Chains A and B, each alone.
Chain A
Amino acid sequence: MNKKKLFNPGLTEREKMQFESLVKANMKRAYFVALGFLGSEDDAAEISQEAFIRAYRNFKKFDKTKNFFTWYYKILKNLCLNFIRDTKTKKNGFLEVEELNTTVDDPAEYIEKKELHEKLEKALIELDFEDREIIVLKEFQQMSYKEIAEMLKIPVGTVMSKLFYARKKLAKKLKGII
């Protein structure tokens, strides 16, 4: 990791160090959330970094008693939404099937799993952003309902209901495969 110090005359040394450790603690989560939203590894890295840059520029405004990721998430989500609206990039295999990494002896089973994997990727990307968001946060980031509710500023019951309908839409898209 880089030992260089961040430059920003508006921030104290303590704040710069604090920001650095917050980035290091949250960068994986940020990247994976962006990957789930955008479906491209390069775009996920680019957009999650851009969100950190904006967070850095506005770090003075961040209430240090609050959860950093909840604050950062708003920036990230807006950037992802803009990016999706403005660009149509190729999605490049952003999911992996855990079982496919180990040996699958039966070639038919391998093909079946690979097909399911590809169709799920396509179905996820085709979902509305709100539906994709809830699935990415709950199923791929394993966030609790409470965490998601805080991040999206909605009641826990609404999170559950949104997740239910998002899965339902996904099931519709995967009809005939599952």
Chain B
Amino acid sequence: MNERFVILLQKYLDNQLNSDEEKELFALINNNEKLKEEFEEQKKVQEVLTKMKLKNPSHEFWDAYWTGLYNKIERGIAWIAISIGALILIAYGSIQAVEQFFRDTQTPQIVKIGTVALIFGLLLLLFSIIREKITTSKRDKYKEIQR
């Protein structure tokens, strides 16, 4: 499409054409049937769009908007704090349990070895998954689009 025509057309639709540009636009249109059709089509769509507007909600909606946002922010922070607290307690509890398990002289050595292997395997798996996530995220061209 004629780039100059597009610029002049947009200016025309926005009522921003000066008289020279207006002459230029109409000279283009009058000498080219295709451009004339494009011009008419764009004008019609613009007219229809001008008549429409996005629905405006009530005053109450706007009052509730900020309150709702405030509550969501507050609750989001509360959930983060709860998660951190739970994580610390679980980690502490797990360490205590493992310590007690290894101190226990009644437990057979083979069970202790098996438990160590299991815990080591789980930790390695967790580390591997986290590392993969981080590496993928760094290389991901579309990381701004959250999945």
Contacts and interface: CB of A to CB of B under 8 A. Distances in A.
Interface of A: 1-2, 4, 6-8, 23-24, 27-28, 31-32, 35-36, 41, 45, 49-50, 52-53, 56-57, 74, 78-79, 81-82, 93-99, 113, 116-117, 120, 135, 139-140, 145, 157, 160-161, 163-164, 167-168, 170-171, 174, 178
A98 B55 CA distance: 10
B54 A53 contact: no
B7 interface: yes
Nearest to A57: B76
B62 A28 contact: yes
Contacts of B67: 1-2
B113 interface: no
Contact of A6 (B46, B53, B73): B73
B51 to A, nearest CB: 6
B27 interface: no
Contacts, number: 120
Interface string B45-87: 1111111111101000111011111101110110000000000
Count class of interface residues, chain B: 35 or more
B42 interface: yes
Nearest to B67: A2
Given A23-B66, A52-B69, A145 B52 contact: no
Contact of A167 (B3, B7, B45, B57): B45
A131 B147 CA distance: 22
Nearest to B69: A49
